[in-house]
Amino acid sequence: MSTAETLAAEVLKTGTLAGLPDGHFIDGEFTRPSHNQSMESFDPGRGEAFATFAAGTRANVDQAVESARRAFENVWRDTAPVERARILQRASGLILENIDRLAVAESLDSGKPLNEALGDVRGAARCFEYYAGACDKLQGDSFPLAPDYLGYSIHEPVGVTAHIIPWNYPISTTARGLAPALAAGCTVVAKPAEQTPFTALLLAEILVQAGLPDGVCNVVTGTGADVGAPLTSHPDVDHITFTGSVTTGQAVMTAAAREVTRVVLELGGKSPVVILDDCNRDQALDGVMGAIFENAGQICSAGSRLVIERGIHDQFVEELVRRTKTLKLGHGLRNPDMGPVNSAAHLEKIAGFVDRARANGSDIAVGGAVAADPETGKGWFYEPTIIDRAAQIDEVVREEIFGPVLTVQVADDADHALTLANDSQYGLVAGIYTSDFAKAHQLARRIDAGQIFINEYFAGGIEVPFGGNKKSGFGREKGIEGIKSYCKTKSIAARIA
């Protein structure tokens, strides 16, 4: 067995992962919470608590923000870009050196299959590697003024940045925000979701081991009410990056408005996968399966709406159902085809959507029930589910379920598919499968989404900007656009005559 599999086997035997941090990470070290209270973290594959972590308060947030402000003004913003690059590059290497422990912690905390968690950790390392290369490439412009004048611009770090991290991709989203912020010269206070606190804490420790000065990266754990709200409304925070629900994002935006704080919001989606009748069938089937059943469908950019031309609908859905029936559920550390959902409350929410659809007469082609780990009878599982021939007005088509539930909508032609794809309050991503590249790019231009995948769902990587339109939010992460989110442009004009 690999080291990750050996460690996973030990965790399955003991029920926990030894040596997990139980304090906040502030000013370069782990610290106890101000009132010495803790919370439980649950293993979704068993539905049982496996560790405790610090329950933060406003006082902890104040302490972390003060540390980040001090480090920004005294150290980090004036650290040479090339030195910032070297630290981030070392961090990338250390993440890979610790990949097995990080991946097991991620799988145990979130529920996702171990292989998916390993991929997430590799992606986090790549994120730091990418932005290490960007530190000394943040170049300004010169402006063509009259001969007696000199005009130019420079990019300056915005300051102290707050990062509200979701539970579905904890280490990925942490890295996606922290790496560009640090590369730009900003300091960080991160608040991981209370369901998945550990990899953010472990990552902060790795950054200090890589040479990051004390106070540049801080992590405060706890609830949204006790930690998230004080952080996003803090007067000494200069920028907020938030990933989560529309409702919470609206609250973050309201809090930010009071202090005129900059925000980047990624608020989820209801993304269409458009399948035209000239597609490569196997390629499209593979893409649809991964788009909705990876991480049990708990992905903001999941392809949760299949929009398919009528001529191939029956055969395509029949094969999709056949493949779905073969998926094996199980504890994430056993590397099943699909793991559990993250919490009992979320399981109840997913089941509610499907139960209401069934009661309204929807065609549940496969799945549609709560399940359990076949080895233990425990855990928070939902069967991979397909709802066929869903109407555009149906709740399961309009609302984000955030689970392994695919709705199928039938389109008469490409124009009808475009209409169905765009008839949504969300606009995060979309997929297109067709052999006609002209038609693919025509659709890509006309679909209202922040990112389009053609003939491979989730194509691209850290190099490609990511973010949404409409109620999926605004601002962009990843790519060079991602680092610009943490910069403010200063223009300088001088008379030199």
Residue 250 — φ and ψ, nearest 5°? -65, -40
Q: What is the pLDDT of residue 36?
A: 83
Q: What is the pLDDT of residue 252?
A: 96
Please give the angle made by the CA atoms of 17, 2 and 93, to the nearest 5 degrees: 80
DSSP 8-state assignment for residue 228:
I
Tell me the C-alpha distance between 206 and 132, whole Å. Answer: 15
Tell me the C-alpha distance between 328 and 375, whole Å. Answer: 11
Tell me the C-alpha distance between 294 and 304, whole Å. Answer: 11
403 Cβ partners below 8 Å, 6+ apart? Answer: 296, 297, 298, 341, 346, 349, 350, 353, 382
Tell me the C-alpha distance between 372 and 382, whole Å. Answer: 8
139-180 pLDDT per residue, tens: 999 999 999 999 999 999 999 999 999 999 999 999 999 999
Decide the pairing of beta strands 370-371 and 381-382. antiparallel
422-466 pLDDT per residue, tens: 999 999 999 999 999 999 999 999 999 999 999 999 999 999 999
Tell me the C-alpha distance between 365 and 359, whole Å. Answer: 14
21-49 pLDDT per residue, tens: 999 999 999 998 778 899 999 999 999 99
* Catalytic residue (choose from 116, 266, 383, 400): 266
323-358 pLDDT per residue, tens: 999 999 999 999 999 999 999 999 999 999 999 999
Query: Residues 105-119: what's their mean pLDDT?
Result: 98
Type of residue found at 375: E
**H-run or E-run covering 443:** helix 437-446
Residue 1 pLDDT more than 90? Answer: no
361 Cβ partners below 8 Å, 6+ apart? Answer: none
Q: What is the pLDDT of residue 33?
A: 76
CB 26 within 8 A of CB 204: no
Does 10 qualify as catalytic in the annotation? Answer: no
Tell me the C-alpha distance between 84 and 176, whole Å. Answer: 16
Residue 487 — φ and ψ, nearest 5°? -120, 150
Helices (H), 220-300: 229-232, 246-259, 281-293
Structure confidence at residue 187 as a pLDDT band (50, 70, 90): very high
Average pLDDT, the chain: 97
Q: Give how far the C-alpha of residue 224 lies from the chain's centroid of Cα atoms, to the nearest Å.
A: 17
* Catalytic residue (choose from 135, 300, 383, 477): 300
Tell me the C-alpha distance between 42 and 200, whole Å. Answer: 16
Does 294 qualify as catalytic in the annotation? Answer: no
Q: Strand, coil or helix: what is 324?
A: helix
Kindly compute the dihedral angle of the four CA atoms of residues 304, 310, 316, 321, in this order, to the nearest 10 degrees: 60
Q: Let me know how many helices (H) and strands (E) the chain has, helices first.
A: 16, 24
Strands (E), 315-412: 363-366, 370-371, 381-382, 385-388, 405-411
Residue 161 — φ and ψ, nearest 5°? -115, 140
Q: Which of 408, 400, 289, 398 is nearest to 350 (CA)?
A: 400
CB 285 within 8 A of CB 261: no
Type of residue found at 91: A
Q: Which of 121, 144, 131, 275 is nearest to 203 (CA)?
A: 121
Residue 129 pLDDT more than 90? Answer: yes
Structure confidence at residue 496 as a pLDDT band (50, 70, 90): very high
Q: What is the pLDDT of residue 6?
A: 96
Of the chain, the end-to-end C-alpha distance in Å amounts to 73
Could you give the C-alpha distances from 332 to 7, 46, 106, 300, in angstroms and in order? 13, 10, 10, 20
Q: What is the pLDDT of residue 2?
A: 79
Type of residue found at 448: D
224-244 pLDDT per residue, tens: 999 999 999 999 999 999 999
CB 61 within 8 A of CB 234: yes
Give just the sign of the alpha carbon dihedral 452, 454, 456, 459.
Answer: negative
Q: What is the pLDDT of residue 32?
A: 82
